[in-house]
Amino acid sequence: MALRTRRDFCGCDTGIISKEILRTSKMVASLAGYDVALNKAIVGQNAFAHESGIHQHGMLNHRETYEIMAPEDIGADKSTMVLGKLSGRHAYSERLLALGYALGSEGIDATFNRFKEIADKKVAVTDSDIRAVVNEYLDGLEGKYWLDTFQIQSGNHMKAMALVSLKAGDEIFTESAPGEGPIDAAFNTINRIAGADDVHLESYDLKAVTEGADALGEVKVKISSERGGFTGRGVSADVIKASIKAYINAINKWTRAKGN
């Protein structure tokens, strides 16, 4: 690749088919029983991956800034932007566009802050993580209540109790309530704050957005009352926090339908 990239300086060339380099490297590694180092030049997994915000910004403006050869030249897929805690707003907004989201400046700022929170806890943030964060944001637009703090007490020999504080404008409302488990107690507490005596939980769905111990949990809830059914979505590595955020989003929709 040095001869190919600097042909004008070296004054010579080779007949090697460069697009077979990566495949050959993987074959040799497999036969030898050794993994290629992630940071190995040219054939390493991170050779054409960029996480640093400065690198990503340079790549988006002019690829040759940080890549003197194209990944396709060695038989690899195109360069990847690994979004993580070092990524900047520019790379993040470009990924949003690639995923089909057209958020305004306020939306990008709000979801970017959530992205940074998640990136501080994960090695790399996947597209699925980003979709979950954006969908949660879109689901919670124009909400009356926002989560401030929560505390849960629960055990196999005690009734679960939740203490939840919600922000509404410049005010903070705090209530506590028992429940059949920590999540039920948190939901009952939110109902007390919102005065949602006629609201009932219709469905609760929890799934991992990605694999691994650091996966985000995405919770979807559906509540019902005499005003109809309302859904909410919440995302967090903490399942209880994700559940509370999802329920708050649903209660906010119920509140708007109520006219409060």
pLDDT the model gives residue 175: 96
Assess contact for 246 and 147: CB atoms under 8 A. no
Q: What are the tens digits of pLDDT across the range 228-251?
A: 899 888 888 889 999 999 999 999
In eight-state DSSP terms, residue 178 is: E
CB atoms within 10 A of CB 41: 8
Assign 225 to helix, strand or coil.
strand
208 SS3 class:
strand
Tokens of 198: 């006629």
Q: Predicted confidence band at 64 (pLDDT cuts at 50, 70, 90)?
A: low
| Structure-token pair, residue 204 | 């609760």
Ordered domains of the chain (ranges, CATH)? 18-81 (4.10.430.20), 89-139 (no CATH), 146-258 (3.30.160.270)
Stated as kind and residue range, the H or E segment containing 119 is helix 105-119
Place of tokens 């036969």: 31
Instruction: Give 193 or 129, the one with higher predicted confidence.
Output: 193
Q: How far is the C-alpha of 248 from the C-alpha of 221, rounded, in Å?
A: 10
d(CA 48, CA 46): 5
Q: Which of 54-68, 83-97, 109-123 has the lowest mean pLDDT?
A: 54-68
pTM for the model stands at 0.63
Indicate if the pLDDT at residue 130 is higher than 90: no
Residues 22-25: contacts with CB under 8 Å, at least 24 apart? 22/74, 22/75, 22/76, 23/75
Dist CA 183 CA 170 (whole Å)? 26
Distance from C-alpha of 51 to C-alpha of 82, rounded to nearest angstrom? 5
Which helix (H) or strand (E) is 166 found in, with range? strand 158-168
Q: Which two tokens stand for residue 211?
A: 């694999």
DSSP 37: P
The answer to whether 107 touches 74, Cβ cutoff 8 Å, is no
What are the tens digits of pLDDT across the range 19-50? 888 878 877 876 676 677 767 877 776 666 65
Name the most confidently modeled range: 45-49, 77-81, 252-256. 252-256
Residue length of the chain: 260
Higher model confidence: residue 200 or residue 129? 200
In percent, how much of the chain has pLDDT > 90? 29
Say which amino acid occupies 226.
E
Phi/psi at 85 (nearest 5 deg)?
A: -65, -15
More confident residue, 247 or 77: 247
Q: What confidence tier does 171 reach under pLDDT thresholds 50, 70, 90?
A: very high
Residues 129, 50, 4, 17, Cα dihedral to 10°? -20
pLDDT at residue 133, rounded to an integer? 85
User: What is the reported pLDDT for 74?
Assistant: 75
